[in-house]
Chain A
C-alpha cells in the first residue's frame, strides 16, 4: 500500500520536496498554494506569539492533512532559534488540540529522518534513496537558479510581466520532469526562455540585496512578493539565502566544493566587529551579507524578519550602527499576519526613491509595484477610471 504524504510549503522549494517523496514511492497530498486560508488556519491554532513562519507552516500542514496526508514531514533543527522546535510543537497542537491522528510524523533533524521516510515509502535501499535525494536536490537547485535569474532580470524587461510569466512556465516544466537527463534539458530550455525575453540592455538599475530570516526571505507569499515588487519598481534584487545553500552549510558540510571556502568561517569573518557569535537563525548571515553587499557595490539592503523573531531582533539592533559605519542604507521589515500591503508598498517606494536620489540625484520613475505599469505622477489619476 502506498501512503499519502504531505508537508508544509515554503516558496518554490516544494517542487524539490515533492519530487523527492514521489520518487520514494508516496502518493502526494500537497497542500494548496499559501493563501489567506492558510494564514487563518495557522493563526487560529498557533500560540499567540509564535512567529510568522510557524503560523504559515502549521496552516499549510493542516491543509496537507485535509488533503488526506497520512505521513507528515516537517521542519526540525537544533536551535537556539525556535524553528528547530516547530515540528515538536506542531505535533502537540495537531494531535492534542485538534485531534488529528498522525501515526507518521517526522521533523527533519538529521539525514537519518530522510531514510526513515524513504523506508516507509518503500525505498528500502539507501543507495536508491540517496539517488532520489540527489535528483530532488538538483531540481531544487535548478528552481533556485531560475529564481535567481528572474529577480535579476525583472527590472530590465521591456514588456512588463513577461518574466513572471516565463518563471511560472519554467517552474511548471520542472514539476513535470522526472529524469536526470530531462532535467538538464529543462534547465537549458528554461535559460533560453529567460534569454528570449526582450530586455533593456543599457539600463543601469539600482541593486538591492535581501537578507533576513530564511523563510520570509525565500517565500514570496510570506514576504508579500517583495522581490517582484522591487523588480517592478525597476530595482535589481539579489537574495542572500537559498535553501540548498543553507542545507549544505548547516547539515551536510561546511566546506563548499564549488566556491572552495569554509562558509561558516567566511560568514564569521565578514560579521566580525558587529556580531561575534552565531546566535541562531540567520542573524550572523544577515550581518555578514550586509558587509558583503557593501563590498560588491550594492546600493542598499533590505532586511526582512518575522515579528518577534529572536535572532532578527539581534540583527535589527545592530543594523543602525552598521548602516552608519558602512554608509549603506538598510531598511528593515517586520512581517506578520497584520502587515498591510499598502503601508508595505509605500515604504518600499520610499526606499527606492531614497536610493535613487543617493545615486543619481533623481527619484525613481513612478511605477506601480504590483503591476509594474508606469503611472502618471498626478496623485489620484488611476488608469481606467475617470
Chain B
C-alpha cells in the first residue's frame, strides 16, 4: 500500500459503488487537507464488499493500530480529521472497526470466507506491487515452472471447481476438452459480460483485484495450450476496463504476459474487447460472435467452443469469479479447496446482496451455507424492518425463493431444486412492499427486450408472456391467464436455442409456484397487496390532514 511506517496513512475505497456514494469527493478533499502535513499520507484501494458503509475511510497508525470509518462524507472531514491525526476518538457512528476494540467487529464479516475476494479492498488495484507482495503471480510461477499443463488440468479437476457464471459445469473438465483438441491456435476468453441485473461481483473483482483474474487466465491458457486470450467486458463497466488495461500493461512489463513468460516456453497475449450492451452476449457462442464483429446471436451447439470457437479455433470461456479462484487453488492445492463447501459444490461462492436488505454488499461464503444465514446473519434482514417476502436468485434466469425455503443450502443442486438457479450469484431481497407479480413482469420485460430474436418462441413467446402479466397487473386479468402463463412458459423453455430463452420463464414459474395467491388477488380481487400496481390502487385525499394540495400528485406520480 506504499505506507510509510512513520506516517498516519489514510486509505479511501474507490470502487464504482464507493465513488457513487461520494468516495471520490472524500478522497480529493482529504488530499487537499493533508497535502502540507508531512505526517500524513493517502492512497486508495477499491471495494471491500461493505457497500452499505460506503464511502469507507481506513486509517493506519504508526503503532500498528487501524481504524475503519464508514458512511463518512466530505462534509464530515472537518469534524473527524483533527481527532484522527491526534489519535483521539471520533464520533462512534462512523466507526466500523477499531483494532483497539477487537470485539467491535462488523457483523457483515461473520461467516465469510474470502478466497476470490481476499485482496479486494486491501490492495491498490492500480499498482502491481501490492498484488505481488500478497503472493501475486506465484501461481503462474508454480504452474509454468513446476507443473505440466496436464497436471494443472488435473489439479483444477480435483479441486471440484465449477463454473461460477451460472451453469456450474466442471472447470477442469472444460479445460480438458479444450486441451484435447489439437489445433495450431487456441483461445482463452474471460467472460466479464456480467449482465444479470442485481449481480456485481465480477465488476468488483475486476476493479479491486484485476491481476488475480489475469493470473487465472494465464494459467488457463497454459493448461489448454492457448497463446491468445481475450477479456470480454461490459461497456457499462468503464472503471473495470480502465484498471484492467493498466494491469495488462504492468504485467506485460514484468514479462508475466507476452512472449516466453518468465523465460518459459509459454507465451500468452491478452486483449480487451468491450461489449456494446447486449445481455445475450453472456452466452458463449453469442460472445464469440460479438468478438468476431457480428450481431451477438447464439448458434447451435455442438460444435462446442472447445472444438470450434473463436475464428473456428478451440476456445475456452470462463467467468471472472471462476478464473479468480484459480491462483488460490494452484497455490494452496486442490485438496484444501475441495475441503470447503459440499460434496458436489466445492469451495466458496461470492454473492451480491442487494434490494431491501439492511447490510448490502459483496459476500463470499463456503458453498452449502443456508440462505437464511446470508440474509439474516450477514445481511441483517430487511432494511425496512418489514417482513421478508422473497429472495430473487440468479437474475432473469432465476427465481424467487420464499421464506419457507430459506434453510436451503446454497449449492448448485439444492438451489436448482427450488426452481431458481445459482446463476452468477445475484441476490435481491424483497419485503412486503414488493409486488411479486410486478417482479415477474419486470424480468419478462427485461428478457423480452434482450431476446436476440433468433428463436420464435423466445422472441414472440416472451412478448406474449409480458402482455399477459401487464394485463394482470392492470386489473384486466382472468383466471385462464394463469394457465396460459404456465403453458406458454413451458413452450418457451423447450423451444428456445440458448440459455436466455430456456430460462426466461423461470421468474414466472417460480412465482406462480410459491406466490399464486398474489396472482389470484390481482385477478379476482383486483388488489395489489404491496401497493405497487398503480391501476389497482384507489387514491383519495384525506381533507382533514391535507396541508399541501400538490402532495397527492407527488405521491401518485
A, B co-complexed: no
Which B residues fall within an 8 A CB radius of A? Answer: none
**Which residues of A are at the interface with B, using a C-beta cutoff of 8 A?**
none
